[in-house]
Chain A
Amino acid sequence: MINIEKHWYDVVVIGAGGAGLRAAIEARLAGKKVAIISKSLFGKAHTVMAEGGAAAAMGNVNPNDNWMVHFRDTMRGGKFLNNYRMAELHAKEAPERIWELETYGALFDRTKDGKISQRNFGGHEYPRLAHVGDRTGLELIRTLQQKIVSLQQEDKAQHGAYDARLRVFAECTITELLLDETGGQKRIAGAFGYHRESGEFVLFEAPAVVLATGGVGRSYKVTSNSWEYTGDGHALALRAGAKLINMEFLQFHPTGMVWPPSVRGILVTESVRGDGGILKNSEGKRFMFEYVPDVFRKQYAETPEEADRWYTDPDNNRRPPELLPRDEVARAINSEVKAGRGTKAGGVYLDIASRRPAAEILKKLPSMYHQFKELADVDITAQPMEVGPTCHYVMGGVEVDPDTASAGVLGLYAAGEVSGGMHGSNRLGGNSLSDLLVFGKRAGEYAASYTDTLAKRPKVNDKQVAVAVEEALTPLARDGGENPYTLQSDLQDVMGDLVGIIRRKGELQESLSRLSELRERIRKVGATGGRRYNPGWHLALDLRNMLVVSECTAKAALEREESRGGHTREDFPKMDSKWRQVNLVCALTPTGEVDLTHQPIPTMTPDLLALFDKSELAKYMTDKELS
């Protein structure tokens, strides 16, 4: 008989990144019994990798900043496809969430008058990113981790055990959400998974689940994302009956290292550009001036001289074009490389060495200096870096209610990168870390209060559990199944080559047929070895999630016949106001196929619309909407 470890919680949070930890803290503060589940060790989630900072309009550096300006920047960055209400809540609540971190023990860099320092970042009008050197994500996750420990200490004092009310299940992967469908309504009843260490199965019975599983980048070969990013949360939500929106929008970070191989995919933070770094092609030309789109013409410098003055006198000069939003920079680099002006490894040069004294670079970018020096023997104070577009972030995700983070299935909530809508077609740098905090808190809060409304706890259906067990064990039982690593690599090739940064109709069509071949092959994946800490088996189980999420991306990318933010179609290079009114929504049919539909996007309220210039709105909206 199969042994299944059982646990009983009020709220189960899947994911121990910024969003998951913040949600867990909130649910615990609401008095609930909470489990935090994570595929890796506690404190190692992807959030540790964020470098640049967390955007919040605190106005510490430039007092002109406020939530309205932040809201405007976010909407512009997302090309007005954002869920306006999420963007509004985010801009309004981010400062509180950051200040709160200080009460948990965070130590941000300071301004002269002792407040939290804020730095410039692409797409933000004022210096807005709270940061700690270039390891802001680490600070964020460590702070939340330590806050959790402090709550556990309170629980120990009160109830006698650290994990009386808040327990971390590290190295535990959830493979299925369990639903109670009695009475004709789907409600979350729990989650099923396995301990990576032992391979033993585990069942969490809980009326509320918060998804905070991060992104999908592992479907691409050149990516900044780790093995965890296999789109588990996206796929779990789909299978539970929730919907994904905006899956065509993937952010390719413009400046990931392309050479040497030991650092391929590692990002060079935007602050290198914010602090004076410039982009040059193999001919040594600073090319960004040629790629300023009309919508941004007014805010960006036209000459290198003006751009260089901006660093010291931002009020009287326009900003350098290197600080354009990410997609513009990525596209510019891509064009240069395609035109034959790239480096051998297919990138361009990012040069800060020749523009700032070594000591200043060391002070401003210490961990980056140290990382490249040690990993690749590249000295960023002495030589330019070789950079190019890298798959980095998925804007699309689970469709949620803006205020409650509810995912449309009773008891299911989503926050962080796994949720969609907040960033529209493109995320501004730094908006993710604040997004995690703002919506992580909301998800925890509303998940907790949902459990209060229940007269009766939903019941786990034993049949579903049996199916989940069976599903998890088949790759191990299959003799001569296909190697999961080969399958993953083939999937990455399809996505990288055919659904990459610049997309075409023919290629997208081809990708769909290649993906359906892969779907068949993945059904026959096999894993050798036993159940104890077996990465081959783990990957075999992740593959089906990666596949379904890739299918959503490819389908939506084929459908959207325009270019906007993180979606660039070579055959439809312009932004089209008609497409701005549409979200592409993916759901699963009963047989497990991806079903794509159009859905109108919510109309912004008049008071928020009034924050924009009419002439600016004209670039995004149809005449009918404007009148």
Chain B
Amino acid sequence: MTVRQFKVWRGDAAGGQLNDYKVEVNEGEVVLDVIHRLQATQEPDLACRWNCKAGKCGSCSMEINGMPRLGCMTRMSTFEEDETITVTPLRTFPVIRDLVTDVSFNYQKAQEMPAFAPPADVAPGEYRMQQIDVERSQEFRKCIECFLCQNTCHVVRDHDENKPAFSGPRLFIRAAELDMHPLDARHDRKEIAQQSQGLGYCNITKCCTEVCPEHIKITDNAIIPMKERVVDRRYDPLVVFGRKILRRDQLAATAPAGPTVHAGPVTVADGQAPVDFGRELTPPQPAEVNPSGHVNLNEMLSDRAAAASPFGDDITFPVNPNSLNYYHPER
């Protein structure tokens, strides 16, 4: 048994700090064991998620010395005896308290992704697939949803503005899994990935693959094949023709336009362009309502004439073009 130096981030959405702790560590323990000892002996209200302590549930994701890791899979013996170990919450997701973050982003993205479509004419019990064909999808189904890959990916790490358009590597492997599923009845998984999951934002840095505790080859086996085949389909005249004769509802159900022009937000240095089209959109503001829930249309009651502006009432005209992210196509 030795006493080791820990720094653990404590706080909540409002802010926090790294606290110093001295904790006993026994031979053969992992970081999560130490967090538990901290809870039991010094900080009973230290918040931390865990379930299986066996690397199977993906609950105990945290950043250990800046690396996204599972607390239960990080052996203490991998650190130097006199090393201070710093434990912080995942950075990409909003902090709830201490080491617990709000990972609902990932569940939301999963909800938006069209589910497995069972083949219409195969009865339960009659599914026949060869092992070699299911193995490719099985690799992706190993995912324990620890969201370390999501946390690592630079497209959303420190870039909240990309979150609406980008589903992240966890969902790319889900797309690939369904794409490679021998009996999935949908054949537009790649298009969906491109059009509504933001596959185009990914520039194959492979950081996600590096942190995956299940060693899923996220980039090589899922993202790259998906990208390649999207390209194939786009430029293959036969496929383009084939796509035209598909009914609209056979194509992506939810297909808002993806970033087809630039891969990711483009920020142009100040003064170089008339407008900054990488700027985050001003959210449309709801009109002011009266206690009965109606908009004040009566000039007598409202402080301005007619209905409230859909652009928000705090805008003064003319607007400074530098604050817009609209780019006039003809200029």
Q: Quick check: is B301 within 8 A (CB to CB) of the other chain?
A: no
Chain B residues positioned under 8 Å from A43 (CB to CB) = 145
Give the Cβ gap from B9 to chain A, nearest Cβ, in Å.
14
Give the Cβ gap from B148 to chain A, nearest Cβ, in Å.
14
Q: Quick check: is A110 within 8 A (CB to CB) of the other chain?
A: yes
Which of B41, B56, B131, B137 has the largest count of A CB atoms less than 10 A from its CB? B56
Extra pairs beyond A49-B54, A533-B100, A535-B46 (19, CB < 8 Å): A42-B107, A44-B58, A44-B59, A46-B51, A48-B56, A95-B125, A105-B118, A110-B131, A135-B142, A150-B115, A197-B100, A197-B102, A259-B28, A263-B54, A377-B77, A483-B40, A485-B39, A527-B45, A534-B44
- Is B50 a contact of A226 with CB atoms below 8 Å? yes
The contact of A153 among B96, B114, B138, by CB within 8 Å, is B114
Chain A residues positioned under 8 Å from B114 (CB to CB) = 153
A-B pairs with beta carbons under 8 Å apart, 23 shown: A40-B57, A43-B145, A45-B51, A49-B56, A96-B124, A104-B118, A105-B118, A107-B129, A109-B131, A109-B134, A110-B131, A146-B115, A226-B50, A227-B50, A262-B33, A370-B215, A375-B54, A528-B44, A529-B44, A530-B45, A534-B44, A536-B39, A536-B44
- Is A533 a contact of B47 with CB atoms below 8 Å? yes
Q: Quick check: is B97 within 8 A (CB to CB) of the other chain?
A: yes
**Closest A-chain residue to B75, C-beta based?**
A262
Chain B residues positioned under 8 Å from A142 (CB to CB) = 141, 143
* A375/B73 contact (C-beta < 8 A), A226-B53, A533-B100 known: yes
Determine the distance from Cα of A485 to Cα of B98 in the docked complex, in whole angstroms. 19
Chain A residues 90-123 with CB under 8 Å of chain B are 95-96, 99-100, 102-105, 107-110, 113-115, 117
Q: Quick check: is A371 within 8 A (CB to CB) of the other chain?
A: yes
The contact of A48 among B100, B118, B144, by CB within 8 Å, is B144
Determine the distance from Cα of A374 to Cα of B33 in the docked complex, in whole angstroms. 15
**Closest A-chain residue to B12, C-beta based?**
A532
* A149/B115 contact (C-beta < 8 A), A99-B125, A107-B141 known: yes
Q: Quick check: is A228 within 8 A (CB to CB) of the other chain?
A: yes
**Closest A-chain residue to B119, C-beta based?**
A103
Top 6 nearest A-B pairs (CB, nearest first) are A529-B45, A536-B44, A150-B115, A105-B116, A260-B28, A114-B128
- Taken residue by residue from 19 to 52, chain B's Cβ proximity to chain A (1 for < 8 Å, 0 otherwise) reads as 0000000111110010000011100111111111
- Is B45 a contact of A536 with CB atoms below 8 Å? yes
- Taken residue by residue from 67 to 108, chain A's Cβ proximity to chain B (1 for < 8 Å, 0 otherwise) reads as 000000000000000000000000000011001101111011
Give the Cβ gap from A259 to chain B, nearest Cβ, in Å.
8
Determine the distance from Cα of A259 to Cα of B29 in the docked complex, in whole angstroms. 11
**Closest A-chain residue to B182, C-beta based?**
A107
Q: Quick check: is B130 within 8 A (CB to CB) of the other chain?
A: yes
Determine the distance from Cα of A366 to Cα of B103 in the docked complex, in whole angstroms. 28
- Is A226 a contact of B111 with CB atoms below 8 Å? no
The contact of A376 among B28, B39, B97, B125, by CB within 8 Å, is B28
Q: Quick check: is A173 within 8 A (CB to CB) of the other chain?
A: no
Chain A residues positioned under 8 Å from B59 (CB to CB) = 40-41, 44
Give the Cβ gap from B217 to chain A, nearest Cβ, in Å.
14
Q: Binding site of B, secondary structure by majority: helix, strand, loop or mixed?
A: loop
Chain A residues positioned under 8 Å from B124 (CB to CB) = 96, 99-100, 102-103
* A377/B144 contact (C-beta < 8 A), A41-B103, A152-B111, A153-B114 known: no
Chain B residues positioned under 8 Å from A44 (CB to CB) = 51, 57-59, 145
- Is A138 a contact of B56 with CB atoms below 8 Å? yes
- Taken residue by residue from 527 to 551, chain A's Cβ proximity to chain B (1 for < 8 Å, 0 otherwise) reads as 1111011111100000000000000
Give the Cβ gap from B97 to chain A, nearest Cβ, in Å.
4
Determine the distance from Cα of A331 to Cα of B200 in the docked complex, in whole angstroms. 58
Chain B residues positioned under 8 Å from A132 (CB to CB) = 138, 141
Chain B residues positioned under 8 Å from A103 (CB to CB) = 118, 124, 127
Chain B residues positioned under 8 Å from A374 (CB to CB) = 55, 73, 75, 213
Q: Quick check: is A303 within 8 A (CB to CB) of the other chain?
A: no
* A110/B115 contact (C-beta < 8 A), A262-B30, A535-B45 known: no
Q: Quick check: is B7 within 8 A (CB to CB) of the other chain?
A: no
- Is A49 a contact of B57 with CB atoms below 8 Å? yes
Q: Quick check: is A139 within 8 A (CB to CB) of the other chain?
A: yes
Chain A residues positioned under 8 Å from B115 (CB to CB) = 105, 146-147, 149-150, 153
Q: Quick check: is B255 within 8 A (CB to CB) of the other chain?
A: no
The contact of B29 among A102, A228, A261, by CB within 8 Å, is A261
Determine the distance from Cα of A147 to Cα of B116 in the docked complex, in whole angstroms. 8
- Taken residue by residue from 72 to 97, chain B's Cβ proximity to chain A (1 for < 8 Å, 0 otherwise) reads as 11010100000000000000000011
Give the Cβ gap from B232 to chain A, nearest Cβ, in Å.
25
Determine the distance from Cα of A399 to Cα of B121 in the docked complex, in whole angstroms. 41
Give the Cβ gap from A113 to chain B, nearest Cβ, in Å.
7
**Closest B-chain residue to A367, C-beta based?**
B142
Determine the distance from Cα of A114 to Cα of B182 in the docked complex, in whole angstroms. 11
Determine the distance from Cα of A107 to Cα of B183 in the docked complex, in whole angstroms. 10
- Is B130 a contact of A375 with CB atoms below 8 Å? no
Which of A41, A227, A370, A371 has the largest count of B CB atoms less than 10 A from its CB? A41
Q: Quick check: is B181 within 8 A (CB to CB) of the other chain?
A: yes
Which of A135, A527, A529, A533 has the largest count of B CB atoms less than 10 A from its CB? A533
Determine the distance from Cα of A422 to Cα of B77 in the docked complex, in whole angstroms. 44
- Is A535 a contact of B39 with CB atoms below 8 Å? yes
Chain B residues positioned under 8 Å from A532 (CB to CB) = 12, 47, 96-97
Give the Cβ gap from A41 to chain B, nearest Cβ, in Å.
7
- Is A261 a contact of B129 with CB atoms below 8 Å? no
Determine the distance from Cα of A132 to Cα of B213 in the docked complex, in whole angstroms. 18
Chain A residues 513-539 with CB under 8 Å of chain B are 527-530, 532-537
- Is A49 a contact of B52 with CB atoms below 8 Å? yes
Q: Quick check: is A162 within 8 A (CB to CB) of the other chain?
A: yes
**Closest B-chain residue to A266, C-beta based?**
B54
**Closest B-chain residue to A540, C-beta based?**
B44
Chain A residues positioned under 8 Å from B54 (CB to CB) = 49, 263, 266, 371, 375
Determine the distance from Cα of A268 to Cα of B139 in the docked complex, in whole angstroms. 22
Q: Quick check: is B268 within 8 A (CB to CB) of the other chain?
A: no
Determine the distance from Cα of A537 to Cα of B47 in the docked complex, in whole angstroms. 11
Chain B residues positioned under 8 Å from A135 (CB to CB) = 56, 142
Determine the distance from Cα of A535 to Cα of B56 in the docked complex, in whole angstroms. 21
- Is B134 a contact of A107 with CB atoms below 8 Å? yes
The contact of B75 among A375, A528, A535, by CB within 8 Å, is A375
Determine the distance from Cα of A530 to Cα of B11 in the docked complex, in whole angstroms. 12
Chain A residues positioned under 8 Å from B96 (CB to CB) = 197, 532-533
The contact of A227 among B51, B130, B184, by CB within 8 Å, is B51
Determine the distance from Cα of A105 to Cα of B107 in the docked complex, in whole angstroms. 18
Determine the distance from Cα of A105 to Cα of B129 in the docked complex, in whole angstroms. 12
The contact of B44 among A45, A152, A162, A527, by CB within 8 Å, is A527
Q: Quick check: is B273 within 8 A (CB to CB) of the other chain?
A: no
* A537/B75 contact (C-beta < 8 A), A132-B141, A149-B115 known: no
Q: Quick check: is B281 within 8 A (CB to CB) of the other chain?
A: no
Q: Quick check: is B110 within 8 A (CB to CB) of the other chain?
A: yes
- Is B49 a contact of A41 with CB atoms below 8 Å? yes
- Is B55 a contact of A149 with CB atoms below 8 Å? no
